[in-house]
């Protein structure tokens, strides 16, 4: 059963089980991870250990030489001494590395294929400092990057220091000090595992619930040191499980991908690096008309400043080799590696999706800004190494997303430091009609939620769920959800599954149509072309994310429906104005010529957004000229629909029917009507003859559900156009034209409706 964990269900079930255990007089199993969960039993254990520590006599520091004698030495950003066979590892910290910003990244190097534990997925990252304190100890502190004083005015600094605090998270013991250099040794395993510097166990524990990291069985198993980073591999063993509890199976808490529910292990990669300082990177101020992920901080009070926050866009550090040239190759291009686990038959399509963005960078003044390389089969580096940006291929039993594009960012400047794209193998399985019987559709509550993805009824369904489970006590929560239907009110796990579910439904219908509809345009050999085009498009979408771009749900409206299947048009202009939209497959109406199924090039918005984020002005022109250049670029946002932008918060408001996922063309109602025709045509050909050899009627049922859901989704797209307001992102001081909000006027295409 799926692991769709609504937070209120988790909390209620967890509290209920705890009360049941307490009432029965049973003693819960005390896993090592319980020390960090706030569990009362763990708290008592922690107190007992503290009492024992206070009773012990303070030990003197060991000799530096004796401590590291016979150990393997790894020299790099930090010097690390290891004897992994004996479970010993020490991190050497120089005095000049105190009070400096370092970043610890935690990534799942291996997973279990379900429950949020997927190989390649990011776990967490944290910026921290080592600070000296009394008693041969070092304080580990997370600096407060949300409140800053960039002007370094003394009175402002005094005010900030007295008003806000850094996060002091724990202290580590200094095991030895070199008397000549002052270098301090700390226990690396304790820092990473027991103290959980990256809060990796806290994050992983929030998605497993029935299993907890067992530190007695876990260990560091790899350490590599380089000039700019230290790579640490760990095997983390989880213990616990449902123990065959039928309630755990009923609510989907039992794991299905492991042979014995009592335990499993995953590989976690920790990457320790220094934040760049004075590397020439210049932060770029955000503009709400262009969709970038942001790094935000509150600046000190300034008279006449209406907004206390400073917003930087997240982007890579690209510099021209020839700053005065209109187009120049970069000093250091962005290199993306295709992981060697990727099926060879899909590597070319994935590479095309990455390289698709070079067109956008040319508009920003860079030639060949992005390169793609194939990871060798005998590579001596790991994909989670912070020095490499990798397009990773994962597999899972129950995917939460068909693609993911996370990046790690310097929280002081917005500079992207590391990024990977993860593609799930189930993407191809769904397109090939290879359904999983142990999946989302086995849980009626989950299916009810997912079938309403992206629609107004999604919020209504959530309200109904709250009232059903909490009764009158949940009334306030349900009303609050109705008043603020924003992403912050929706569980992010469900949202990831929602997008993945809808994508597989829409794209799965496309491949089904190619398989069953008659005619030369729907020959079976087109299925491979369909899959290849989709992999290129989904890769381009995820690469857009790791370039810093957010979703753009106004990005599918650039072409008239009449030319959607005209390759000369779609290949020269792009099928959509932005690949950052959620776009459906472009399936031609029955009997019509079939053009491109998915975008083969980035759109006008994508090129414009990259131009804003990455274009440079010659240094000799100064900051004022750069501000003018950026203002001129952002000012073109009134070019509708090519440069229209609307992101996640806009789609959840349901104000503008033109801001929607899974629509296509500048007349979405016409395109949706064509898809209703397609659904009816496919429906008419679903019978026992459409069951593949070796397949039972379960496959036919899946196809029936697929067609029905596809029909429903397109019908709801049309229904969205009842009422509504048109929404535009504009700057009141620099732009003229339509108001931000205006009455929606449906397009009068003059086309006859097919129903």
Report the pLDDT value the prediction gives residue 243, as an integer from 0 to 100: 63
Report the pLDDT value the prediction gives residue 522, as an integer from 0 to 100: 55
Confidence of residue 490 (pLDDT cuts 50, 70, 90): very low
Helices 492-516 and 668-683, packing angle to 10 deg = 60
Point out the least confidently predicted range of 5-19, 278-292, 416-430, 522-536. Answer: 5-19
Report the pLDDT value the prediction gives residue 308, as an integer from 0 to 100: 86
The larger pLDDT score, comparing residue 106 to residue 622, is at 106
Give mean pLDDT, residues 402-417: 93
Give mean pLDDT, residues 291-296: 96
What is the Cα–Cα distance from 507 to 286, expressed in whole angstroms?
34
Over residues 433-469, the pLDDT tens digits come to 664 443 334 444 444 444 445 444 444 445 444 444 4
Give mean pLDDT, residues 426-436: 74
pLDDT for residue 587 is more than 90: yes
Q: For the chain, what percent of residues have pLDDT higher than 70?
A: 77
Over residues 220-271, the pLDDT tens digits come to 999 999 999 999 999 999 998 766 565 555 555 678 888 888 899 999 999 9
Tell me the C-alpha to C-alpha distance, in Å, between residue 433 and each of 233, 436, 694.
Answer: 37, 9, 14
**18: enclosing H helix or E strand:** helix 7-23
**């002005």: which residue's tokens?**
617
Looking at the DSSP bridge assignments, the partners of residue 105 are 125, 271
pLDDT for residue 312 is more than 90: yes
CB-count exposure of residue 250 (10 Å: 0-12, 13-18, 19+): exposed
pLDDT for residue 480 is more than 80: no
Point out the least confidently predicted range of 522-526, 532-536, 557-561. Answer: 522-526
Instruction: Concatenate the DSSP letters of all residues of 692-746 into one string.
Output: PTT--HHHHHHHHHHHHHHHHHHHHHHHTTSS-EEE----TTT--SS-SEEE---
The larger pLDDT score, comparing residue 91 to residue 655, is at 91
Report the pLDDT value the prediction gives residue 591, as an integer from 0 to 100: 84
Point out the least confidently predicted range of 81-95, 403-417, 476-490, 687-701. Answer: 476-490
Give mean pLDDT, residues 101-129: 93
Give mean pLDDT, residues 146-159: 84
Mean pLDDT of the chain: 81
What is the Cα–Cα distance from 324 to 334, expressed in whole angstroms?
21
């Amino acid at each position: 059963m799926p692991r769709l964990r609504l937070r209120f269900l988790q909390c209620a079930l967890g509290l209920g089980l705890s009360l049941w255990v307490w009432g029965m007089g049973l003693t819960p199993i005390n896993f090592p991870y319980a020390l960090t969960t706030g569990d009362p039993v763990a708290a008592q254990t922690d107190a007992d250990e503290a009492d024992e520590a206070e009773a012990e006599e303070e030990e003197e520091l060991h000799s530096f030489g004796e401590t590291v004698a016979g150990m393997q030495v790894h020299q790099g950003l930090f010097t690390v001494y290891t004897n992994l066979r004996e479970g010993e590892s020490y991190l050497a910290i120089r005095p000049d590395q105190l009070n400096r910003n370092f970043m610890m990244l935690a990534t799942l190097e291996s997973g279990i294929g379900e429950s949020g534990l997927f190989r390649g997925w990011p776990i967490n990252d944290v910026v921290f400092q080592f600070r000296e304190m009394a008693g041969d100890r070092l304080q580990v502190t997370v600096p407060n990057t949300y409140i800053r004083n960039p002007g370094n005015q003394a009175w402002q600094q005094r005010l900030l220091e007295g008003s806000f605090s850094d996060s002091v998270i724990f202290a580590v013991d200094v095991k030895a000090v070199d008397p000549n250099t002052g270098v301090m040794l700390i226990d690396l395993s304790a820092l990473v595992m027991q103290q959980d510097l990256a809060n990796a166990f806290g994050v992983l524990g929030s998605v497993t619930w029935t299993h907890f990291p067992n530190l007695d069985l876990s260990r560091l198993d790899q350490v590599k040191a380089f000039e700019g980073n230290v790579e640490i591999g760990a095997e983390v063993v989880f213990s616990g499980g449902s123990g065959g509890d039928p309630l755990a199976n009923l609510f989907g808490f039992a794991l299905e991908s492991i042979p014995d529910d009592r335990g499993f292990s995953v590989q976690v990669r920790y990457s320790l690096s220094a934040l760049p300082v004075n590397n020439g990177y210049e932060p770029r101020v955000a503009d709400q008309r262009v969709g970038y992920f942001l790094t935000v901080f509150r600046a000190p009070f300034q008279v006449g400043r209406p907004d206390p926050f400073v917003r930087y866009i997240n982007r890579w550090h690209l510099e021209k080799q020839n700053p005065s040239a209109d187009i120049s190759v970069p000093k250091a291009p962005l290199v993306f590696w295709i992981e060697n686990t990727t099926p060879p038959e899909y590597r070319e399509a994935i590479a095309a999706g990455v390289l698709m963005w070079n067109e956008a960078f040319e508009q920003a003044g860079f030639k060949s800004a992005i390169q793609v390389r194939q990871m060798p089969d005998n590579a001596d580096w790991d994909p989670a190494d912070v020095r490499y940006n990798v397009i990773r291929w994962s597999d899972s039993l129950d995917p939460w997303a068909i693609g993911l594009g996370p990046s790690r960012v310097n929280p002081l400047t917005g500079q992207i430091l590391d990024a990977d794209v993860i593609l799930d193998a189930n993407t191809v399985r769904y397109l090939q009609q290879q359904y999983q019987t142990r999946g989302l559709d086995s849980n009626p509550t989950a299916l009810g939620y997912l079938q309403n993805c992206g629609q107004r009824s999604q919020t209504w369904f959530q309200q109904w769920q709250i009232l059903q489970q909490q009764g009158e006590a949940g009334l306030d929560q349900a009303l609050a959800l109705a008043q603020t239907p924003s992403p912050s009110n929706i569980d992010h796990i469900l949202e990831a599954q929602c997008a993945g579910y809808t994508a597989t439904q829409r794209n799965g219908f496309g491949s089904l149509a190619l398989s069953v509809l008659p005619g030369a345009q729907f020959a079976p050999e087109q299925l491979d072309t369909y899959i290849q085009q989709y992999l290129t498009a989904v890769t381009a979408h995820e690469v857009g994310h790791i370039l810093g771009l957010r979703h753009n749900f106004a990005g599918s409206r650039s072409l008239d429906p009449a030319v959607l299947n005209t390759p000369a048009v779609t290949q020269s202009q792009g099928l959509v104005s932005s690949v950052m939209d959620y776009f459906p497959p472009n399936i031609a109406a029955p009997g019509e010529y079939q053009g491109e199924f998915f975008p083969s090039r980035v759109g006008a918005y994508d090129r414009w957004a990259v131009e804003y984020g990455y274009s440079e002005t010659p240094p000799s022109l100064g900051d004022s000229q750069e501000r003018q250049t950026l203002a001129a670029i952002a000012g073109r946002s009134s070019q509708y629909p090519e440069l229209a932008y609307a992101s996640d918060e806009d789609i959840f408001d349901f104000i503008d029917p033109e801001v929607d996922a899974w629509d296509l063309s500048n007349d979405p109602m016409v395109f949706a009507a064509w898809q209703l025709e397609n659904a009816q045509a496919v429906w008419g050909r679903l019978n026992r003859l459409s069951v593949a050899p070796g397949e039972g009627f379960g496959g036919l049922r899946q196809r029936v559900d697929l067609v029905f859901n596809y029909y429903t989704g397109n019908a709801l797209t049309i229904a969205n156009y009842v009422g509504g307001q048109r929404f535009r992102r504009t700057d009141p001081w620099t732009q003229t034209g339509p108001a931000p909000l205006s009455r929606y006027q449906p397009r009068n295409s003059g086309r006859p409706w097919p129903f």
